[in-house]
Structure 1
Amino acid sequence: MSNTINFGIDLGTSNSLIAKFDRGDVQVFKNPSGFKESLPSIVGFRNDRILVGEQARAYLLRDSRSVVSRFKRKMGTSENFSIQSLDAIRTPVDLSALVLKELKSFVQTGEEIDSAVITIPASFDTLQSNATRQAGLDAGFKNVVLLQEPIAASLAYANKERNVDLRNSQWLVYDLGGGTFDAALVKIVEGELTVMDHEGDNYLGGTDFDALLIEKLVVPELERRGKFKDLLGSLKSQSGSRNALWYALLSKAEEAKVELSAKMSTEIDLGTLTVEDDEGVAVDAILTIARSDFEAVIQDAIEGSIDMVKRILARNSLAPTDLKFILMVGGSTYIPFVRKRIQEVMGIPVNTSVDPTNAVVVGAAYFAGTKENGVAREGALQRSDSPVRVRMVYNKTTQETEEPFMAKVEGPVEGMHYRIVRDDGAYDSGLKTLMGRISEDLPLRAGAYNIFTFKVFDANGVALPLDFDIIQIAQGRYSVVGQMLPEDICLVLDDTTAQDTRLKSLFNKNVVLPAQTKLTQEVGRTIVQGSSEEIRILVVEGPSNRHSSTNKPLGMLLISGKQIARDLIKGTEVDLKIAMSESRDLTVSAYLHGTDQEFSQVFAPKTRHVSTAILATETLLLETKLQTEIEDAQKNGLRDVATGLEKTLATVQSLMGEVAGLQEDDVTDKKYQLEDRKREAARAMYDLTSGKRLEQARLSYQNAKSECAKLVRESGNERERSMLKDVLAREQTFIKSSAPERIQAEAEQLLGISLSVLSRSPQYLRRMFEHLNEQSATMSDPTQATRLLDAGRRAMQADQWEDVRTVCGHLWDLLPAERQSQGEMRMFTGLV
């Protein structure tokens, strides 16, 4: 019995598949009621029946409001689907779980499928990855491992080829599927395969080409033949009068797209649909679409995908000729224009030796054959009464001709023996005395999956039942060294000096998962025990050298006053342990020094929510910010910066027009695409203005260093002198940095040391108390502020300066956020 997962699933936007790894071979299962490998990722609800796949597709024209497709692209979002026949809603996770359950029915072997490797695009963010894993759990899998699709496709290719030497080679995967696009640089080093870098777009795929056919060709033709005021709007709006027609047209467009891969032209018969204009007149037409028309419609999208490929090569200082080939994967790479254009631009061969439609699931099955299951199966439970347990350690793939095998044996071994036999009989270890530890070198057949049986015999020569008795090692095949994180994961911390936020990187892009880290943070304000106040730290995904507002929020680190054993005083240290699994599960444990409490999981993930109204407001604010930055750049004679900002402004103004034309109940993915474009424009603005912010950050640091050095020299203690010394020791590593946030963080560290020294000064504390007294009218809790001020006056009269410092800390927490800046604190001290 093998203890590997073995089952791989490609959960696709358009189609899904399931495959199994078994003794070196991969079987892609077929639907028992249609004998097709692929299952359309479509779910329908008809009365009390759930329809999945072809049945749901066939029901679409009868009741489009009870049939849902393309929900993979809404994974990780707050969006739900209204099901008319149920008068209820279903989430993308719910629908994906139904597809996964249906795929289980493809496996007619009678075995329990308790675990699976499920593939995701490499460009899926953490929220989308978490949602995919949850769908697997909801479908009944007890163990779900996620695998990035470019890795899966590369495994399918590398383990299929026998006559191609792939050692120390690299290639690029061009994966254009039904709903997503990935470009990934893949390299094999010493027999292990890894993704070195990637670019992607979660909203680029065949379904977008279907929509473009409707928008650019079908809708204009309908408008020529009938009278429509806002045809496209009535199609895309969930409450629109022609929303049902939108889904019917998408199905027709998909059929036309597929035909155009084999023919030079095709037809869409609009007469088979009920299309009436605003005056109730039926529009009947047969629209002929030439392949050249289709290519013109999708050309910009394909050029955009090529730009991503070029960015990968540029980042890694590679020319196309440095690649062995470009591996074409995904159903949309069947489009002749896609293959032709990639080969024209890159000037190297495109590799189509794997089936684009099932390469991902085949690779997932290969990967599943190397992953420990971790779920106790029924057969294993029946063997638990064995007097011995054997834990085996060996590489499941290798380029060597011999593989070290080790095992640890638990239980009484006296008088027992073991034997290892290869399935072809060419190797037999013979009976050997069983000991607590076993070590063998197993000879392997070249280029094959080698299966060994491992048996343990008691003193009477009777074979004992073992949980797992199969050893399988693939010689000359390739394994995965690890999956890369596609984006930085950061904490958003308050930058009180700049009255803004800054990012603290937890995990950097392209780090190999799983990964873990530790850090210590100070509590920014006092949290009263039993109150509803919370420690709240936002976690975001995106470049750590950009502004936090340009990144995607993932969730919050939350600790409530109701959870703590006593008051948590401002400045108290919190130790955080952060781990991210191979499947992108983020776990955060926290230890509170002030209360001596430990919390095992303080991270609360969120779903992505995009409001059209909020998006419009944010885009308008970005336009205003850009205009201000352009004026500043022009005033300071920075012509190149001003030119770049003007181009970004033009992009944002175009974006504003698209956002304005978007309805709140738009059923497409347009609002997510527009939000991503807004983030990119904001990042471009921050890149262009980084020079100005660098200059400001360096000036701020130099001022902070001068002030801190003076204070520490005159009044600092040993700890403060050591902290200053540490900052100065690493100065050369950050002062020339191109990231102003990094320099500003060091300046804030120095200001913190300065304030630590000053907080022991009665003169400083008196001035601080007087300032806070003047600000008491603005404080959030006037009653508490009055009590604290009275206590502070009594403490000053008694020269109890430690109590004064505590009172000032509590008063500071009551100030409005905009008044809580260290810059303001220095202004009124007169001491810095």
Structure 2
Amino acid sequence: MENTINYGIDLGTTNSAIAKFVKGEIFIFSNPQDMGSRTLPSIVGYKKDKILVGKQARVFAEREPQNVKSVFKRKMGTSESFPVKSLNQSKTPIELSAQVLKELKTFVNTGDSLDAVVITIPASFDTIQSNATKEAGILAGFKQVVLLQEPIAASLAYANMKKEKEMQEGQWLVYDLGGGTFDVALIQIKDGEMKVLDHEGDNFLGGADFDNLIVEKIIIPKLYENYKFSDLEEKMKSASGKLNAVYLKLLRLSEDAKIILSAKTSAEIEVSGFEDEDGNDVDIEIVITRSEFNELIRPNIDGINEMIKQILTRNSLTQIDLQFILMVGGSTYIPYVRTRVEEVLQISVNCEIDPTTAVAIGAAYYAATKRKEIEKSGKAKHSSISVKTSYNKASKEKDELFSARITGNTDGLLYRITRQDGGFDSGIKNLSERISEDLPLVNGAFNFFSLVIYDIENNIIETDIEPIGINSGFGISGQPIPEDICLEVDDYDNPGKTRLKAIFFKNSILPLRSQGTSFPLNKGLIKGNNDDFIYINVLEGSHLALPEANKGIGFMEIRGTQITRDIAKGSDIEITISISESRDITISAYLNMADQEFKQTFNPKERHTTIEFLKEQVEDLSDKLELEIQEATDREDYETASALSKLKKQMESVSEETESLTGDDVTDKRYQLEDKKRKIAQEIDSATKNKRIQQVKAHYFEIKDECKKILDENGNDHERKIFNDIVAQESVFFATNSPLKIQEKSDEIHSIVGKIRWRTPEFLSNIFQWCKNSQTRMNDQAQAKSLIDAGNFAIESNNWERLSEINSGLLNLLPKGAEKEATTKIGFGI
């Protein structure tokens, strides 16, 4: 049994493919239902008791489009589902993707049991979309699914195709424009290692959008011009619309025309088979020229070029710093895509690899380096000797260190390691519990070795060791995360509001694990009280943005019923986050006061985006933008007001498009608009950065003065050292001009103040007295009386630690916001 995965799948928006690594070579499986083709159209149809996938489903769509589904990858990770009329039920993107994966299994005629696979995803896929893809793999019957970002796969395909002497150290871009998504990644080869340095992408940009543009901008206007229709686009795009089936057919015809235009200067689209509102048969031939099509997609292609410019700017690169742009994805067959890139960016394009199979090839190369982690079923092979090996499965070194740990009685036993091509033989050596060898590698090839164990008479001893394979071609150093991973924390500068704290930054290499980060609790917890809780919210997106501008991954609740003792306000909670290579996120929260740890793994597979909720979010953001413009104008900050006014035009466009969405809209427009809304929110934050810098600096100096005073009165040496270290860094974090960095330092000082306050007898006594005066407002009078009696006793006995716990309990009995009111009046409302 092979100990590496070896199988790679490109699960594409419009076409998919499967490949296998076989003894250093990649074999791409052909489609048995479409001779000569090595791809499978990602289309699923339901016909009575049959499921059709691929070309058969495409043909069936001409008769029953309501029973055929495509482009579902674009809705991966959403709560969207696709109604299937013949089944009288809906199918999710996960279920439809699983059908495509199952069909790809039928391509494999080697007799292998496909229990593990590498599946590719766009580099810009967020955590939820990634988890949804894994779930589709599991639903298709794979027991182990490893995810690989598509630009990395393309880079592996290219690098392993080239001979080593042809691969020079340097940098290039992977330009991956497929049927539904776009990614651009900056790749570097240095010291024989390939790395992904940066990336940009759009999960809602690809060939399917170009098809839709032909329908929207060319076909529909022609229909209006020659026939009588009202609200034609709405009737086509609404699931319940009279012309929804026509819309799906026109998309297919537009795709065919687009493909023809890659080879010819014009294409014809015949539109027929339905009536206009006067009962006239629609029968019209529409000619589209290549120049018309180029002009149609130019804004999209120029938008892609802007993404590339952002990468160059971020990494301080110019065109001459890049060797080429590697073109990948079916949509790069479009001549204008290639010529426009060279024209605008002045960087040569590289079209040496097949854009439709490169990703599957790279996935197979990667799969050859990933060990299977599936428990073997059935009767285990009996062996008195067990061998556990350790070595790099991809290496550019001349020799690779191989080590093994032997379990069992090794007395009198021998071993020998040989390379498959006969170029290396370790000779027969004495076996011990631990062995190691430097294995020489043939450059640019996959090197296979065998380890054989003998007894004293050179009889082979049966063991559980599996073949040793090392790729001396190019591997990848790791996969980067597409966005910052953040925690939502309290914003002390804006009471009642929150902000983001980055735990991992964009382009950090997976897997990741944070050091434990401590935060003071802004509220206490009463043991046994289910209404008392704190939550840890994890989000994905720019740490400089508003929390609501980012994507939620999940949150963990800790309730009073889960804790073993009361937790005082201001006590520490230590949070550790880890992310696996396949993007499972595990949160560990440790409550110091209770000596309790809570753990939870997030792998959500759906993001719910209702049109109503989206409209509400867009309206709120529009109001915020109006307020920011007014504030900037009032303080005569006309530069900021001008920048925000430009955003206002974008916001109005998003608002208008959002309002036009019908409740049963079948397109992925809502998700595109959600992305646009999120980006505008981030730009609003960026435009108002100067205002926020002034605010956070003022707050910093205020809390600094307060802390210095309280340190002189009640601080200890450890707290003084922390304070002095922060002050010594002022010139550094002020120079960053980052509101977030300055705010973080304010929070650190605020934490010092809080710890000192909550152990100071005068402060604790004043809080207790304020709570006593507010007893009538408390929601549990019996518990309040009990705590007040205990508090009086704690003061009499000078038990200030106990009084701190009692105060937290009393404050939690008051209405929301009362705690802030109390601490402000006592002198802690900084």
What is the identity, as a one-letter code, of the residue corresponding to 2:494? A
Root-mean-square deviation over aligned CA pairs = 2.6
SS of the residue corresponding to residue 456 of structure 1 reads strand
Q: Is the 8 A contact 2:454 2:460 kept in 1?
A: yes
Q: In structure 2, what is the equivalent of residue 32 of structure 1? A: 32
SS of the residue corresponding to residue 809 of structure 2 reads helix
Q: In structure 2, what is the equivalent of residue 100 of structure 1? A: 101
Q: In structure 2, what is the equivalent of residue 289 of structure 1? A: 288
1:444 CA displacement: 3.4
Note if 1:494 corresponds to 2:490: yes
Q: In structure 1, what is the equivalent of residue 461 of structure 2? A: 464
Q: Is the 8 A contact 1:497 1:821 kept in 2?
A: no
Q: Which residue of the other structure, out of 378, 383, 387, is the alignment partner of 1:386?
A: 383
Matches of 1:22 and 1:604, distance apart in 2: 33
Note if 1:660 corresponds to 2:656: no
1:294 CA displacement: 1.2
What is the identity, as a one-letter code, of the residue corresponding to 1:231? L
**Distance of aligned partners of 1:422 and 1:383 in 2 relative to their CA distance in 1, 3 Å threshold:** farther
What is the identity, as a one-letter code, of the residue corresponding to 1:662? L
SS of the residue corresponding to residue 82 of structure 1 reads strand
What is the identity, as a one-letter code, of the residue corresponding to 1:556? F
Kindly provide the CA deviation profile for residues 3-32 of structure 1, in whole angstroms up to 9, marking residues without a partner as x. Answer: 111000101110111100011000011122
**Distance of aligned partners of 1:353 and 1:740 in 2 relative to their CA distance in 1, 3 Å threshold:** same
Matches within 5 A, 1:743-758: 743-758=742-757
Kindly provide the CA deviation profile for residues 257-301 of structure 1, in whole angstroms up to 9, marking residues without a partner as x. Answer: 111111111111112xx3222344321111111111211111111
What is the identity, as a one-letter code, of the residue corresponding to 1:487? E
1:400 CA displacement: 3.7
Q: Which residue of the other structure, out of 435, 439, 445, is the alignment partner of 1:438?
A: 435
1:800 CA displacement: 6.6
Matches within 5 A, 1:323-362: 323-362=322-361
1:797 CA displacement: 8.0
Matches within 5 A, 1:668-683: 668-683=667-682
Q: Mark the runs of 5 or more structure 1 residues left unpaired by the alignment.
A: none
Matches of 1:565 and 1:422, distance apart in 2: 59
Q: In structure 2, what is the equivalent of residue 527 of structure 1? A: 525
**Distance of aligned partners of 1:627 and 1:785 in 2 relative to their CA distance in 1, 3 Å threshold:** farther
Q: Is the 8 A contact 1:555 1:606 kept in 2?
A: no
Note if 1:455 corresponds to 2:452: yes
Q: Is the 8 A contact 1:16 1:38 kept in 2?
A: yes
Matches of 1:808 and 1:666, distance apart in 2: 53
**Distance of aligned partners of 1:189 and 1:281 in 2 relative to their CA distance in 1, 3 Å threshold:** same
What is the identity, as a one-letter code, of the residue corresponding to 2:130? S
Kindly provide the CA deviation profile for residues 328-362 of structure 1, in whole angstroms up to 9, marking residues without a partner as x. Answer: 00000000110110111122221000000000000
SS of the residue corresponding to residue 748 of structure 1 reads helix
Matches of 1:371 and 1:5, distance apart in 2: 6
Q: Is the 8 A contact 1:485 1:509 kept in 2?
A: yes
Kindly provide the CA deviation profile for residues 391-443 of structure 1, in whole angstroms up to 9, marking residues without a partner as x. Answer: 23333333344333332222222222222233333333333222223333333
Q: Is the 8 A contact 1:767 1:829 kept in 2?
A: no
Q: In structure 2, what is the equivalent of residue 684 of structure 1? A: 683
Matches of 2:159 and 2:639, distance apart in 1: 47
Matches of 2:380 and 2:801, distance apart in 1: 66
Q: In structure 2, what is the equivalent of residue 15 of structure 1? A: 15
SS of the residue corresponding to residue 591 of structure 1 reads strand
**Distance of aligned partners of 1:280 and 1:773 in 2 relative to their CA distance in 1, 3 Å threshold:** farther
**Distance of aligned partners of 1:526 and 1:354 in 2 relative to their CA distance in 1, 3 Å threshold:** same
1:565 CA displacement: 3.7
For structure 1, which segment, 114-123 or 225-234, has the greater mean C-alpha deviation from structure 2 after superposition?
225-234
**Distance of aligned partners of 1:231 and 1:392 in 2 relative to their CA distance in 1, 3 Å threshold:** same
1:214 CA displacement: 0.7
For structure 1, which segment, 256-265 or 758-767, has the greater mean C-alpha deviation from structure 2 after superposition?
758-767
For structure 1, which segment, 352-361 or 396-405, has the greater mean C-alpha deviation from structure 2 after superposition?
396-405
SS of the residue corresponding to residue 275 of structure 1 reads strand
What is the identity, as a one-letter code, of the residue corresponding to 1:486? P
Matches of 2:116 and 2:524, distance apart in 1: 46
SS of the residue corresponding to residue 281 of structure 2 reads coil
**Distance of aligned partners of 1:151 and 1:780 in 2 relative to their CA distance in 1, 3 Å threshold:** farther
Q: Is the 8 A contact 2:520 2:573 kept in 1?
A: yes
What is the identity, as a one-letter code, of the residue corresponding to 2:478? G
Q: In structure 1, what is the equivalent of residue 43 of structure 2? A: 42
What is the identity, as a one-letter code, of the residue corresponding to 1:204? L
**Distance of aligned partners of 1:798 and 1:128 in 2 relative to their CA distance in 1, 3 Å threshold:** same
What is the identity, as a one-letter code, of the residue corresponding to 2:5? I
Kindly provide the CA deviation profile for residues 684-703 of structure 1, in whole angstroms up to 9, marking residues without a partner as x. Answer: 11111111111111111111
Kindly provide the CA deviation profile for residues 234-268 of structure 1, in whole angstroms up to 9, marking residues without a partner as x. Answer: 11112222222222221111111111111111111
SS of the residue corresponding to residue 622 of structure 1 reads helix
Q: Is the 8 A contact 1:2 1:468 kept in 2?
A: no
**Distance of aligned partners of 1:440 and 1:762 in 2 relative to their CA distance in 1, 3 Å threshold:** closer
SS of the residue corresponding to residue 704 of structure 2 reads helix
Identity of aligned residues (%): 46
Matches of 1:237 and 1:770, distance apart in 2: 63
Q: In structure 1, what is the equivalent of residue 58 of structure 2? A: 57
What is the identity, as a one-letter code, of the residue corresponding to 1:525? K
**Distance of aligned partners of 1:538 and 1:717 in 2 relative to their CA distance in 1, 3 Å threshold:** same
Q: Is the 8 A contact 1:390 1:409 kept in 2?
A: yes
Q: In structure 1, what is the equivalent of residue 74 of structure 2? A: 73
1:104 CA displacement: 1.2
For structure 1, which segment, 82-91 or 261-270, has the greater mean C-alpha deviation from structure 2 after superposition?
82-91
SS of the residue corresponding to residue 282 of structure 2 reads coil
Matches of 2:773 and 2:673, distance apart in 1: 46
SS of the residue corresponding to residue 621 of structure 2 reads helix
Matches of 1:128 and 1:417, distance apart in 2: 50
Q: Is the 8 A contact 1:557 1:603 kept in 2?
A: no
Matches of 1:144 and 1:118, distance apart in 2: 7
What is the identity, as a one-letter code, of the residue corresponding to 2:171? Q
Q: In structure 2, what is the equivalent of residue 270 of structure 1? A: 271
Q: Mark the runs of 5 or more structure 2 residues left unpaired by the alignment.
A: none
What is the identity, as a one-letter code, of the residue corresponding to 1:482? G
For structure 1, which segment, 392-401 or 298-307, has the greater mean C-alpha deviation from structure 2 after superposition?
392-401
Q: Is the 8 A contact 1:554 1:607 kept in 2?
A: no
**Distance of aligned partners of 1:830 and 1:221 in 2 relative to their CA distance in 1, 3 Å threshold:** closer
Q: Is the 8 A contact 1:418 1:432 kept in 2?
A: yes
SS of the residue corresponding to residue 198 of structure 2 reads strand
**Distance of aligned partners of 1:604 and 1:593 in 2 relative to their CA distance in 1, 3 Å threshold:** farther
Report the TM-score when normalising by structure 2.
0.94
SS of the residue corresponding to residue 166 of structure 2 reads coil
SS of the residue corresponding to residue 77 of structure 2 reads coil
1:519 CA displacement: 2.0
Q: Which residue of the other structure, out of 454, 459, 483, is the alignment partner of 2:479?
A: 483
Q: Is the 8 A contact 1:167 1:191 kept in 2?
A: no
Q: Is the 8 A contact 1:93 1:135 kept in 2?
A: yes
Q: In structure 1, what is the equivalent of residue 241 of structure 2? A: 240
SS of the residue corresponding to residue 418 of structure 2 reads strand
Note if 1:398 corresponds to 2:395: yes
SS of the residue corresponding to residue 476 of structure 2 reads strand
Matches of 2:223 and 2:785, distance apart in 1: 72
**Distance of aligned partners of 1:830 and 1:600 in 2 relative to their CA distance in 1, 3 Å threshold:** closer
Q: Is the 8 A contact 2:566 2:805 kept in 1?
A: no
**Distance of aligned partners of 1:89 and 1:304 in 2 relative to their CA distance in 1, 3 Å threshold:** same
Q: In structure 2, what is the equivalent of residue 825 of structure 1? A: 823
Matches within 5 A, 1:407-418: 407-418=404-415
Kindly provide the CA deviation profile for residues 91-136 of structure 1, in whole angstroms up to 9, marking residues without a partner as x. Answer: 2111111211111111111111111111111111111111111211
SS of the residue corresponding to residue 735 of structure 1 reads helix
Q: In structure 2, what is the equivalent of residue 167 of structure 1? A: 168
Note if 1:148 corresponds to 2:146: no
Q: Is the 8 A contact 1:383 1:465 kept in 2?
A: no
Kindly provide the CA deviation profile for residues 140-168 of structure 1, in whole angstroms up to 9, marking residues without a partner as x. Answer: 21211111111100110111012753232
Q: How many residues align?
A: 826
For structure 1, which segment, 234-243 or 484-493, has the greater mean C-alpha deviation from structure 2 after superposition?
234-243
SS of the residue corresponding to residue 145 of structure 2 reads strand
Matches of 1:783 and 1:13, distance apart in 2: 62
